[in-house]
């Protein structure tokens, strides 16, 4: 049995403790220890898990001898700092997403991990376990659809004002580090970069406190330019009660659409589009269309989850198995978190400056613009 | 009977002559005269319409006494010049779309029209007769859906290399003035501005000769920012044999989607989204969802066209009726063409400069950038 140490007993940490400690959803893993800097949360942990030792600092839990690996479920800003503490003590660690807010701190975390290559380091990209996205990743990487020409992901979400009012740190520059880009959308941003690679340029039109009383961004329309000429659009918001989740990727040899992150429709052309557009006669194209032979359609669906949030359990299980057998892969290497942070910070910086931004972003410029917003907010110290 | 004079006997002019002169599709209108500066086209006109006088210049047809109004179906660049000739001679005129390529020439045309307010002046925005778009226009203007929050129109089209090779002027900077933006997409660009108003800022990522051997743009991903904070995306290309035509407009009070410019689905919320997100309890929202009362869906479809391209016939008929009874409205006032030209030129300029562009565009900057491309192309004189 591997004993997990849960660092941070907020919404996520307490959910993990329940999933692993009470529901026994992660084979081979048990709850070894819990830690929170907040006395009230420690009290809650003790009452819910009376048999589990509870600590008040990361150092204490890391030195306790009561855990074999840790989950870092603290505020985004602090992810790199706490993760580095674990790595330096040789403690295997899974960090929450996003890997951090400030790219330079995530680079530092990655450098630390590279100095300790034997310490397993993962990141909670649970949506990478969705077999629809795995398949999309594999098809794209295989080249069987040819090169990407365009990807459009519209992910319009809904959060109530009550949700925003439920924690003082929520949707703040200084506490959370942003809005929809760092809280709701990191999965989509990571999947975009994981599947389609990093764009070279980003331009975003961003609205702050759009139809909600918050300081941070909650309505973002971002455009990407990729090195090969492909373009991308990523739309996300939290003010759409109807909601929409629709991904369309167009390639040289066809199109793949994913509806509601569940149902994937692959339309594979009989030939490369450029060849059809250049060498095929109009008659040949029309005949292919008429006979339904221009493309074939393959449908691929996400399996039903055996229990709510089973994706998180898969990430923990893979991590635990990797600890026993290092040849077993993680769902996502911890060092991989930097790409999502770079793409997210480019979207943020472009929205702040109202100008296109080339990747990678200028770390100092990003930090100084972020600090301007923390200062204007007046609730937290600058970073 | 109103006799139409057709100026320009290319693909469009000969189509109009056939629709009106042979098929009698426009009640109250007959073909009075035809004109083309090209001898071969005049020969073709004479053989197809032996009873119709054929002229070799705009001045001749305008002075002939054989027509009561004219259709200007000449290359885009020349639209304003020929249209002004007609207006100055007191000849009612319908100009083709786009109204022109260079905004300053279209402004000049509009000034000329304003000096001759009694000369009817229309523009061939035939898709404004589509009752789906009329309804979308009216709903948006009425305010019953509240303010616009976002509009996304994906209009991915297909043109073969053969199509591009079919005329030396096709897809050239100097001859046609651009690619998909000035040839295939003007209808969508006009409908966007007609229905949702003009954005204040445009950013476009543009590919030139994308998977086709042409000099001009045929793959454009444009992002709009509107004055009220709403955002927009307009995607168009000519290298997609699968094709896509999908418009989504999100408003304060719901969403309207138009599929294939034919089928409109209106999803009208029971209340303003912000009110739902702020004042409704989670329980109330869930109950509304469960009972199917969160929104109502109304479907509205385009009528079948009685004959191919009947929309053009409607524009001519409305124009002819307006000549007899000035209180009868045109489908589109000719002076209205400037907005599409301004939006199109902002998209072009942004794609050329790889920078966001504020509207209205700087006329001189636009022209100098266009001339750079005409010069590099080396086929036509600069403008």
Residue B254: pLDDT band with limits 50, 70, 90: very high
Do the beta carbons of residue B288 and residue B294 sit within 8 Å? yes
Residue A250: pLDDT band with limits 50, 70, 90: very high
Hey, CA dihedral for A272, A274, A279, A281, is it positive or negative?
positive
Residue A30: pLDDT band with limits 50, 70, 90: very high
Would you say residue B343 has pLDDT above 90? yes
Mean pLDDT for the stretch of residues B366-371? 98
For residue B271, list chain A residues with Cβ-Cβ distance below 8 A: none
Would you say residue B291 has pLDDT above 90? yes
Residue A119: pLDDT band with limits 50, 70, 90: very high
Buried b (16+ CB within 10 A) or exposed e, A330-358: bbbebbbbbbbbbbbbbbbbbbbeeebbe
Q: How far is A261 from chain B (nearest CA, A)?
A: 19
Cβ <8 Å between B160 and A254 = no
Cα→Cα distances B77→B177, B337, B358, Å:
7, 14, 23
For residue A254, list chain B residues with Cβ-Cβ distance below 8 A: 242
- Whole-angstrom Cα distance, residue A69 to residue A89? 11
Q: Which helix (H) or strand (E) holds A39?
A: helix A39-48
For residue A145, list chain B residues with Cβ-Cβ distance below 8 A: none
Would you say residue A186 has pLDDT above 90? yes
Backbone angles phi, psi at A242, to 5 degrees: -75, -40
Residue-averaged pLDDT of chain A: 97
Cβ <8 Å between A277 and B154 = no
Q: Is B217 on the interface with A (CB under 8 A)?
A: no
Cβ <8 Å between B274 and A160 = no
Would you say residue B148 has pLDDT above 90? yes
Cα→Cα distances A227→A153, A358, B207, B228, Å:
19, 11, 12, 33
Taking only the tens place, the pLDDT of each residue in B70-122 is 999 999 999 999 999 999 999 999 999 999 999 999 999 999 999 999 999 99
Which of B218, B219, B236, B241 should be substituted to probe chain A, the one whose Cβ sees the most A Cβ atoms within 10 Å?
B241
Residues 261-300 of A with CB under 8 A from B: 267, 269, 273-274, 276-278, 280, 282, 285, 294-295
Cβ <8 Å between B250 and A240 = yes
pLDDT of residue A169: 92
Cβ <8 Å between B235 and A211 = no
Closest residue of chain B to A355, computed from CA coordinates: B356
Cβ <8 Å between A229 and B212 = no
Which one of B205, B213, B276 has the shortest CB-CB distance to A241? B276
pLDDT of residue B378: 95
Burial class (CB in 10 A: 0-12, 13-18, 19+), A56: middle
Q: How far is A168 from chain B (nearest CA, A)?
A: 17
Q: Is B240 on the interface with A (CB under 8 A)?
A: yes
Cβ <8 Å between B295 and A242 = yes
When mean pLDDT is compared across A72-81, B122-131, B176-185, B299-308, the lowest value belongs to B299-308
Cβ <8 Å between B223 and A225 = no
Q: What is the ipTM of this complex?
A: 0.96
Would you say residue A151 has pLDDT above 90? yes
Which of A147, A150, A279 should be substituted to probe chain B, the one whose Cβ sees the most B Cβ atoms within 10 Å?
A150
For residue A242, list chain B residues with Cβ-Cβ distance below 8 A: 250, 254-255, 267, 269, 294-295
Which of B277, B278, B293, B350 should be substituted to probe chain A, the one whose Cβ sees the most A Cβ atoms within 10 Å?
B277
- Whole-angstrom Cα distance, residue B288 to residue B267? 14
Cβ <8 Å between B242 and A219 = no
For residue A233, list chain B residues with Cβ-Cβ distance below 8 A: 221, 223, 233, 235
Q: Is A302 on the interface with B (CB under 8 A)?
A: no
Cβ <8 Å between A231 and B221 = yes
Taking only the tens place, the pLDDT of each residue in B36-67 is 999 999 999 999 999 999 999 999 999 999 99
Q: How far is B274 from chain A (nearest CA, A)?
A: 6
Taking only the tens place, the pLDDT of each residue in A51-66 is 999 999 999 999 999 9
Mean pLDDT for the stretch of residues B248-254? 98
Which of B157, B162, B203, B230 should be substituted to probe chain A, the one whose Cβ sees the most A Cβ atoms within 10 Å?
B203
Would you say residue A165 has pLDDT above 90? yes
- Whole-angstrom Cα distance, residue B125 to residue B129? 8
- Whole-angstrom Cα distance, residue B108 to residue B95? 14
Three-state secondary structure string covering B154-208: EEEEECCHHHHHCCCCCCCCCCCCCCCCCCCCHHHHHHHHHHHCCCCEEEEEEEE
Taking only the tens place, the pLDDT of each residue in A302-335 is 999 888 889 999 999 999 999 999 999 999 999 9
pLDDT of residue B309: 85
How many residues belong to chain B? 383
The DSSP code for A111 is: H
Which one of B149, B223, B252 has the shortest CB-CB distance to A205? B223
% of chain B at pLDDT higher than 70: 100
Closest residue of chain B to A147, computed from CA coordinates: B211
Residue-averaged pLDDT of chain B: 97
pLDDT of residue A52: 98
Cβ <8 Å between B239 and A150 = no
How many residues belong to chain A? 383
pLDDT of residue A305: 86
Cβ <8 Å between A280 and B211 = no
For residue B162, list chain A residues with Cβ-Cβ distance below 8 A: 282
Cβ <8 Å between B294 and A207 = no
Do the beta carbons of residue A332 and residue A128 sit within 8 Å? yes
Three-state secondary structure string covering B334-377: HHHHHHHHHHHHHHHHHHHHCCCEECCCCHHHHHHHHHHHHHHH
Would you say residue B14 has pLDDT above 90? yes
Cβ <8 Å between B294 and A241 = yes
pLDDT of residue B305: 86
Q: How far is B272 from chain A (nearest CA, A)?
A: 10
Closest CA to B304 of B108, B54, B130, B47: B130
For residue A278, list chain B residues with Cβ-Cβ distance below 8 A: 160-161, 212-213
Q: How far is B153 from chain A (nearest CA, A)?
A: 12
């Amino acid at each position: 049995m591997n004993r997990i140490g849960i660092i941070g007993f907020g919404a996520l940490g307490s959910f993990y403790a329940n999933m692993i400690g009470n529901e026994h959803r992660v084979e081979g893993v048990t709850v070894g220890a819990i830690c929170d800097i907040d006395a009230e949360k420690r009290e809650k942990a003790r009452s819910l898990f009376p048999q589990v030792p509870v600590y008040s600092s990361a150092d204490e839990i890391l030195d306790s001898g009561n855990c074999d690996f840790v989950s870092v479920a603290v505020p985004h800003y602090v992810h790199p700092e706490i993760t580095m503490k674990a790595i330096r003590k040789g403690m295997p660690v899974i960090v929450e997403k996003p890997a951090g807010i400030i790219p330079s701190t995530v680079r530092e975390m990655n450098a630390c991990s590279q100095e300790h290559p034997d310490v397993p380091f993962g990141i909670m990209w649970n949506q990478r376990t969705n077999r629809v996205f795995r398949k999309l990743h594999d098809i794209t990487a295989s080249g069987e659809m040819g090169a990407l020409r365009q990807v459009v992901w519209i992910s319009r979400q809904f959060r109530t004002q009550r949700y925003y009012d439920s924690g003082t740190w929520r949707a703040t520059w200084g506490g959370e580090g942003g809005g929809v880009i760092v809280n709701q959308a990191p999965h989509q941003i990571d999947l975009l970069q994981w599947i389609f690679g990093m764009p070279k340029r980003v331009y975003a039109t961003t609205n702050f406190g759009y139809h909600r009383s918050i300081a941070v961004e909650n309505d973002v329309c971002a455009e990407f330019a990729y090195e090969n000429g492909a373009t991308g659009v990523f739309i996300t918001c939290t003010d759409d009660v109807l909601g929409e989740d629709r991904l369309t990727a167009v390639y040289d040899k066809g199109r793949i659409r994913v509806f509601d992150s569940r149902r994937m429709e692959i339309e594979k052309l009989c030939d490369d589009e450029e060849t059809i557009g250049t060498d095929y006669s109009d008659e040949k194209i029309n005949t292919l269309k008429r006979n339904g032979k221009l493309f074939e359609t393959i449908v691929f669906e996400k399996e039903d989850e055996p229990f709510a949030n089973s994706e998180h359990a898969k990430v923990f299980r893979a991590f635990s198995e990797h600890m026993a057998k290092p040849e077993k892969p993680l769902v996502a290497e911890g060092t991989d978190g930097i790409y999502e942070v770079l793409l997210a910070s480019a979207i943020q910086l472009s929205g702040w400056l109202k100008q296109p931004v080339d990747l990678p972003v200028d770390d100092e410029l990003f930090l100084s613009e972020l600090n301007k917003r923390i200062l204007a907010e007046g609730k937290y110290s600058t970073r």
